[in-house]
Amino acid sequence: MKTAMLKTRGINHLALVCRDMAETVAFYTEALGMPLVKTVALPDGGQHFFFDCGGGSLLAFFWWPDAPPAAPGIASVKAFPMEPKTAVGSMNHVAFDMAESELEASVAQLQAAGVHVSVPMVVNHDDSPMGASRDMHEGVWVRSVYFRDPNGIMLEFAAVLRDFRPDDVAHAPARALEPVGAGEPVGA
């Protein structure tokens, strides 16, 4: 039996974990010229920042003051969204852009294919202290569905609901507790 093709529109964002948000912001905005378009303060003291990497795609970084150190070869989310932290330098998840009108159907289609959906409903991300709402409201800026591939890689279908505005960059980037020298590789 052939499964109907899901209607993704490419990569929405790739979410990585950084060791120092200020260092990361400087590199991506200054060295690579990618505009910082959205900043999010997480309820656990972490941050989630988004850069426009062109073509309608975003590159995102998480930062947590207590993130595990870099661990090459060990990088996967334990239980998203309840335990989303991964190690510095890891890939946290890949988000595929999808029309909002396709999100609800994607949950049913994934479940019908035997795919476990982390939260069996569409997550409404907003700027509230918790970062999400059970209900749709005008402050919701992206809606998401989370699931894993067979390798344990966290994937997301994401529908951004509005263009980013200057007031979406509202948080100063956090610094590492013990800053590493500029350009010095981790573990050097």
List the chain domain ranges: 8-162
Backbone angles phi, psi at 28, to 5 degrees: -70, -35
State the DSSP code for 184: P
**Average pLDDT score over the chain:** 83
- What is the mean pLDDT of the segment spanning 42-70? 89
User: Which is higher by pLDDT, 154 or 15?
Assistant: 15
- Which CATH class name applies to 8-162? alpha beta
pLDDT tens column, 103-161: 999 898 888 888 888 877 888 888 888 888 888 899 999 999 988 776 566 778 899 99
Work out the angle at residue 71's Cα, subtended by the Cα atoms of residues 65 and 74, and round it to the nearest 5 degrees.
110
pLDDT tens column, 25-49: 988 888 778 899 999 999 999 999 9
Cα gap 61→143, rounded to integer Å: 18
Work out the angle at residue 160's Cα, subtended by the Cα atoms of residues 68 and 60, and round it to the nearest 5 degrees.
25
Cα gap 173→170, rounded to integer Å: 10
The pLDDT of residue 165? 92
Give the confidence band of 73 by pLDDT, cuts at 50, 70, 90: very low
Which stretches of 113-158 are DSSP H helices? none
HSE of 98, CA atoms in CB hemisphere, 13 A = 24
Cα-based distances in Å from 131 to 40, 47, 72:
8, 11, 29
